[in-house]
Amino acid sequence: MEVAVKRMMKLSADVVKRELEDFEFPDRFSLGTATAGYQVEGGYNTADGPKNNWYEFELKGKVEKTGAGCNFWELYPEDFARCRWMGNNAFRMGIDWARLQPGERRTDSPPPLSQEAIERYADIINEARKNGLDELITLFHWTHPFWVGGDLWTNDEKVKDLFVPALVESVERINAVLVEKHGSSPIRRFITMNEPLFVPLTTYILKIFPGYDGLPSLTRFKTSYINILWAHLLLYKAIHELYRKKGWTTPEVSLNPWGCCIYELDKMTFDLFLAKANGVGESEITKFLNEERRATYAILSQAPRRSLVGLRRTLENLAAYFMKRRVGRWSMEKLLREMYDSEHERFIDYLPFDFYDPFIADYVRFSTIIKPARWPWEWWSVPEALGYFLKAYSRKSLGLPIRIVENGIGFECPYNESKAKPRPDGIRRHEVIQAHMFEIVRAIKEGINIDGYYHWSLIDNYEWGSFTPRFGIFGVVYPEGARRLKTDILGDNEAGAYKLICEAF
């Protein structure tokens, strides 16, 4: 397997030359990196810092404490200088609700927004722009304030009356600072909800995220998943209305699923939110989604696989059957009412997605025992499948651009160490970036509208309870004040490799 993986990452000079001959990227193509607030900012769940829904997990020692972490909150100017050196023109970051509206105690009365946090986020965005980076702003990346309580997404009132208003007002006030203090323009591009599936799955089924202490619950899983999609609809409409009233340039608003071989967990989201614009009536939704499910599986069935046979494939087929049966019966009335009662024809403005290993069967490994591939350094990278997913996403997309807003690999290196172990499959970061960029070039040549690639991540970060997984182009030595290395944590000059790609395109 390791030899096969390495072979797939190696591209012959003749093949590369042939594919790149007479090729030009579209005029507007984003090449950058991606981050998230809780994972890179530092200072969360400390005595003086904002507390989020992971506070009690950290306090009880269930996970590593974030502490100062990467300290991007203070070190962002030098990090943006690194982006500029690489030739990046885009940067994905979050504005974190827990920092924007901090509170020390559980309460039903929302505390005031923090003007200090609003000012700082505007400063960070302005600094990114000064370094030639177009910001892509994520509004929800799996965290919320401690004062809200753990179980946010099964509570309709909290979603509608707390979450949505807080984020919309934060956007309005950050934009005001950008315009009035910095003489700049409002935020243009948004992701509302990062990987909508993940919080329901990890909280109510796998029970590795905080927020729920009961037995695994399919009811809570489906309620929270629908509510996260509902929150996207509410944010989409509210942000567009805010910009219309203010006379600001029309924003681009979307949400990004995890690229996945199970239709209901991925592409169905895009199909649902573009159904109305595709001329699908409310009574025709089920038929339309069934047709797109079949078409999607027909495309993805052609993708090269590393675990196509035996029990792994059986597990994947069972998962697909289960999701079709269950999701098809879920009540989508809340979503359909928001869509078909609205003046909007569509509810996404582009198609962003995260691409790691999209095949769920690959996360189950068989040796002497059956075990999950839990850690990021165990996950396979499958660039050879990317083109098939891009082709599937382009169906019924109305020509909207497709954007890869996360892609990367992790290495194993604990907090107190500064040198990673090689991955079990032996691949390196630059091989992954090159292989995925190659597939993007091929897809663009086939006429698919792709307008961006964001590598996860610029720097090593806090990966949901642990500092050990390392995803950064620049490694971080945490015990030395989060000192950035010139290399990644394995010791490779990945910044130089990405710089060459940015210069080439």
Instruction: Between 4 and 263, name the one with better pLDDT.
Output: 263
Q: State CA 191 to chain mean position distance.
A: 9
Instruction: Between 136 and 264, name the one with better pLDDT.
Output: 136
Provide the strand spans (E) within 330-442: 351-354, 364-366, 370-372, 402-406, 411-412
SS3 annotation, 431-500: HHHHHHHHHHHHHHHCCCCEEEEEEECCECCCCCCCCCEECCCECEEHHHCCEECCCCCCCCCHHHHHHH
- DSSP letters, 215-281, are S--HHHHHHHHHHHHHHHHHHHHHHHHHHHHHTPPPPEEEEEPBP-SSGGGTHHHHHHHHTTTTT--
Instruction: Report the C-alpha gap between 481 and 354 in whole angstroms.
Output: 30
Render pLDDT for 226-238 as a digit per residue (tens, 0 to 9).
999 999 999 999 9
Instruction: Report the C-alpha gap between 174 and 172 in whole angstroms.
Output: 6
CB 122, CB 177: distance < 8 Å: yes
Render pLDDT for 307-343 as a digit per residue (tens, 0 to 9).
655 555 676 777 777 766 665 555 788 999 999 999 9
Q: Phi/psi at 23 (nearest 5 deg)?
A: -95, 140
Q: Phi/psi at 302 (nearest 5 deg)?
A: -85, -10
**What mean pLDDT, rounded, does the chain reach?**
93
Spell out the residues 6+ positions from residue 191 whose beta carbon is closer than 8 angstroms to its own: 92, 136, 137, 138, 139, 254, 255, 256, 352, 405
Give the pLDDT band (50/70/90) at residue 8: very low
- Structure token pair of residue 93: 């970051």
Residue type, 341: D
**pTM here?**
0.95
Q: Phi/psi at 196 (nearest 5 deg)?
A: -55, -30
Spell out the residues 6+ positions from residue 224 whose beta carbon is closer than 8 angstroms to its own: 153, 154, 199, 200, 203, 204
Q: What percent of the chain has pLDDT over 90?
A: 83
Peptide bond into 307 cis (omega under 30): no
- CB atoms under 10 Å from CB of 373, counted, come to 15
Instruction: Report the C-alpha gap between 206 and 353 in whole angstroms.
Output: 22
Instruction: Report the C-alpha gap between 437 and 68 in whole angstroms.
Output: 34
Rg (CA), the chain: 22
Instruction: Report the C-alpha gap between 45 and 292 in whole angstroms.
Output: 44
Q: 226 - beta bridge partners?
A: none
Render pLDDT for 420-465 as a digit per residue (tens, 0 to 9).
999 999 999 999 999 999 999 999 999 999 999 999 999 999 999 9
What are the residue ranges spanned by the domains of the chain?
Answer: 35-196+245-256
- CB atoms under 10 Å from CB of 131, counted, come to 19
Q: Spelled out in words, what is the top-level CATH class assigned to the domain 35-196+245-256? A: alpha beta
Residue 52 is given by DSSP the state B
CB 80, CB 128: distance < 8 Å: yes
Render pLDDT for 189-211 as a digit per residue (tens, 0 to 9).
999 999 999 999 999 999 999 99
CB 345, CB 392: distance < 8 Å: no
146 pLDDT exceeds 50? Answer: yes
- DSSP letters, 174-196, are HHHHHHHTT------EEEEEEST
Residue 7 has a pLDDT of: 46
Q: Is 94 helix (H, G, I), strand (E, B) or coil?
A: strand
- CB atoms under 10 Å from CB of 403, counted, come to 25
Give the pLDDT band (50/70/90) at residue 369: low
Q: 354 - beta bridge partners?
A: 258, 406
Q: How buried is 321 (Cβ within 10 angstroms: 0-12 exposed, 13-18 middle, 19+ buried)?
A: exposed
Residue 10 has a pLDDT of: 58
CB 233, CB 335: distance < 8 Å: yes
Number of helical H runs and strand E runs in the chain? 18, 14
